[in-house]
A and B are shown apart, each in its own frame.
Chain A
């Protein structure tokens, strides 16, 4: 396990889920694995927040779900980005970039 783990700021989990679904549709477990891999274990998603988040995104119409056979031939619930979700991802990404750049600039300036 990694030494340093950080709690995700509010709302960023939704952004990360959208991002990880932007390449291909995935099921819940794969999403958590992927987030963990890419972040090199720094981001560890609590399942307690992953599934409510997925349900919330589905309700907003940003992702949609479908049951289909997975690699080990069992049915799994796959989540997929919708067009609205893709738009949301772009918007959220842009605003996140601006925010982190701005905060970085403020932190550097001192």
Chain B
């Protein structure tokens, strides 16, 4: 009994090996299908763009996280990529923060649900540099991206787009020409900030913007906080976290948030026959960076996505969404910037000032006690 089992087992094994040999030799024949895409650091290493695209189609899916459709026109980006390459895109946690993106990757490590790519703020990006969280990859346009080498010379993290903070408000409230207009009683209970500065970088940048407009610097936010205190005392500032629904319904008609989010609201309101205006008292910006997860379940698609968003197509999509891609200066110089994009963000080469990680941390320490004092409720 045992003997025959052994024989049949070895015959089966031999058959399997015999049948596998042609398959194995067939794959060694073309370098691409044997390429381990999680180790590829440039497109040419992987066999060029077409090989990358083919490998991605074989993988069939891309996992993205925390990419709201109204954020810098990611809606068009996602649908465009899915259509061009015929892959399914799994979107997780649209409202997640940068930290939550990394946490999701760690939490779901080893599963097929782990995010492939990240779109994160500078603070979180810098925090995880060199920790083995990201897989280095330099896109084809890498040398033309503003500030890419400064952030990471190996391409672990690549700056993607920047935006400026702005105050968006419903046209029904008139026009705001200066900051003190916000203290007017007609704004009672209407002004909202996107989140809390201790947690949300958008809120922190909002405070920086008002602070700068009043003459303050990134190292000293007292003027900004004092202004918010005035707004709160007048009853104009509310602690509600604005969402799409609250903006549409008029519950938060004045929102201090990233410009590329506001751009989407402008479009939405226009389509509905209403007006959403923007007022930018000072220019404060932030850069969002793209990175590939070191344990991405779909490494080829992740790299293809990087090439797409950081390349010309992606840059024009970002531009028409109101965000300034880091490739923009190059595109304008070579005349390849889309008309839509130029209409949206102009040809400006000046990137808005942004706070460093150290300045943000110092401001946070100050705000931990000063912010609740200024705008806290009983």
A, B assembled together: no
| Chain A residues proximal to chain B, CB less than 8 Å | none
